[in-house]
Structures are given as structure tokens and as C-alpha cells.
Amino acid sequence: MNEKKIFKFFELTKIIIKNVNSLHKLNIIKKRFLGKDSYLHNKINKIKFFKKKNKIIYGKLFNKIFFNVKKNIFARKKYINEKLRKRFLKKKFFDVSIPGRRNLRGSIHPINKSINKIENFFYNIGFNIVSGNEIENEYYNFDALNISKNHPARDFNDTFWIDKNILLRTQTSNMQIHIMKSKQLPIKVVSIGKVYRNDNDITHTPMFHQVEGLIINKKINFSNLKWIIKNFLKYFFKHDFSIRFRSSYFPFTTLSTEVDIKKDDGKWLEVLGCGMVHPNVLRNMKIDYKKYIGCAFGIGIERLTMLRYGISDVRIFFENNLNFLNQFK
């Protein structure tokens, strides 16, 4: 094999590459010098027919030339790109007021912010945080909670039924029954999670989040429940609202109340429901209702979050609108 011819080829490639002034032409040259049908590639393919000694000599030689040609092409490409960049900068007008390119920082969803804040409050006053089943049966979601067979919440118009007995839970109150069945008294728990109801408008979505709180002990009264609710609302909103407890009805509590806060415009707005656990619920769980007393509360997280941030349409929480979500960094 003629080594002079090989070196002459290499010197020629350096001259040709050095005189190329466009990326398009450089790509053509690269294919011609380093491609599968190139002179150099054909020479490398013939090495397998050489004697062992020549294989080592010419193998090293061709590899060295191959990588040097590749290195020269890369250097020329870098030179051409820099030249084009400088030419572009001379001609291009830049508006320095345009925001620069940057990696956008993510944010915590406002619902998750509220959940973290709620968990922090109740954990710090001694509640255990538990999670529960989103797919539930009729017993835990309705029967054991003293909800009658003809209650409208059981209708297909209100509840997502999977079959005659299985449904998507309509409230986190189902966790009251799971916890009480364990009979590990006393009980002081908060359950936070998704619930499902067949409703959809600016203040309701088919899926939303609730907080369910339950205390069962020997010395519990409504004053304890009021203290918890008042301090929670003050903590959550960072504002000392006027609060009122208004008589209401829930099948699983008696007495039952809804809690309203007084807004800046003087109007009252309902924010949650609470009450003393109904004796029938304790009786269903074989808990001595004459010895143990319970109180419970249920809070809609979306409603509190809407009030906290001044949001009027609950559906925006689930639209993945980055302009909205980026406000909560």
C-alpha cells in the first residue's frame, strides 16, 4: 500500500476543509471523506486482508487519519457557526426589554398548598393523619353512618355507583367507620382525600377534596369542637373572622351545625359542617355511647381555597392553566 498517497490524501483534505465556508458544503465534504463510500473507508475495509503485522501498522495509521479529518471538520464547523453568529449579531436588532430564556420553576398546586396547611394544623394539636378508600361499599358510605335507605344522596343522580353495592365515596366520613371498627379508643384522627358526587358547575366538580375529623373520648363536648373549628379557621385564613355556628341536620351527628364566617361585605358564608357523633353511629360500632362521646367535622378543601385566594370558579383548579398555577409560587 502506498503510504505517500495516503498522506497526500490527508493533506488534501486539510486544504479542502479549510476553504469551505458553508455548513451545507461542509456536510457534503464530511460524507465524501468519512462516509461509507469514501476513499478512507474503503482503505479501512481492506485491512482485514492484510498480514497481521501490516494490520497493526495500517490500522493505527488509518484510525489516526480518520480522527484527524473528523477533528478538522468539527473545528471548521465551529468556525463557520461563530462567523454566522457574528454576522447575525451585526444585522439583528435586539429588544432588551424582552424576557430572557430561562428554565421555569414549578409550583405547588393551590389545593395541595391547602392540604399541607390543614395537615400541619391538625398534626400540631395531636391528630393522627389517615387516608382511606375512594372505592367504598354501601355499608361504610351510608348504612353505618345512619343515612336512611330513602335518602336522596343514594340516588344515581347524586352518587357514582359501580354496581348495586359498590360506589365512589361521596364523603370522607366513611373513614369514621373504618377507624371506629378498630375499637382502639380513644380516637383523634383527620382523614383527607378525594370524594365524588354527580355535580358540575362553577362551585361544584364531580371530584373534590374533603377533610374529615373525628374525636371519640370519655370527656368530649361541643365546646371542645368549637375551639378546634375557631382556631383552625383563624390559622388557615390568617384572619380573625366573626364566626357563627348555625343549627343544621346531618344523619351522623346530633347536635349538628354549619359554620359560617362573616365576609368583609358583611355577608355570612358557610364554610364547613360539624357536630356531635350520633349515638346510633356509636351503637353500630358497638361503642358504649353512654361512656364515650364523639365529635366530628367535615371541610371542603376547594371551598376554603377559593375563599383564601379569591377564586370564583372551582373548575379552574383542574384545567392545568399555567397562567393560573404560576401565581402560587
Contact 110/317 with Cβ under 8 angstroms? yes
Q: What proportions of the chain, in percent to the nearest 5, are helix, strand and coil? A: 45, 20, 30
- Least Cα distance to 14 among 54, 67, 73 occurs for 73
Quick: pLDDT tens for 169-212. Answer: 999 999 989 999 876 889 999 999 999 998 888 778 899 999 99
pLDDT in tens, 128-185: 999 888 999 999 999 999 898 888 888 888 899 999 899 999 999 999 899 998 768 8
Q: What are phi and psi of 140, to 5 degrees?
A: -70, -30
Beta bridge partners of 255: none
Element (H, E) at 9: helix 3-18
Per-residue pLDDT reduced to its tens digit, 225-254: 999 999 999 999 887 778 999 999 998 999
Determine contact, residues 270/197, Cβ cutoff 8 Å: no
Summary mean pLDDT of the chain: 87
How confident is the model at residue 46, as a pLDDT? 76
Tell how many helices (H) and how many strands (E) occur in the chain: 11, 9
Q: What are phi and psi of 319, to 5 degrees?
A: -95, -5
Higher pLDDT residue, 44 or 304? 304
- Do the Cβ atoms of 98 and 40 come closer than 8 Å? no
Report the side by side order of strands in the sheet with 243-250.
128-130, 187-196, 207-217, 293-300, 268-277, 253-262, 243-250
Q: What's the length of the chain? A: 329
pLDDT digits (tens, 9 = 90+) for 52-85: 777 777 778 778 888 888 888 889 999 999 988 8
Q: What is the pLDDT of residues 90-108, one digit of tens each?
A: 776 667 777 777 777 778 8
Cite the DSSP H helix spans in 92-148: 110-124, 138-141
Q: Which three cell numbers stand for residue 30?
A: 464530511
pLDDT at 2 over 70: no
Look at residue 127 in the predicted model and tell me its pLDDT.
Answer: 94
Task: Give me the residues paired with residue 161 across strands.
Answer: 167
- Please report, as a single letter, which amino acid is at residue 205: T
Assess contact for 214 and 296: CB atoms under 8 A: yes
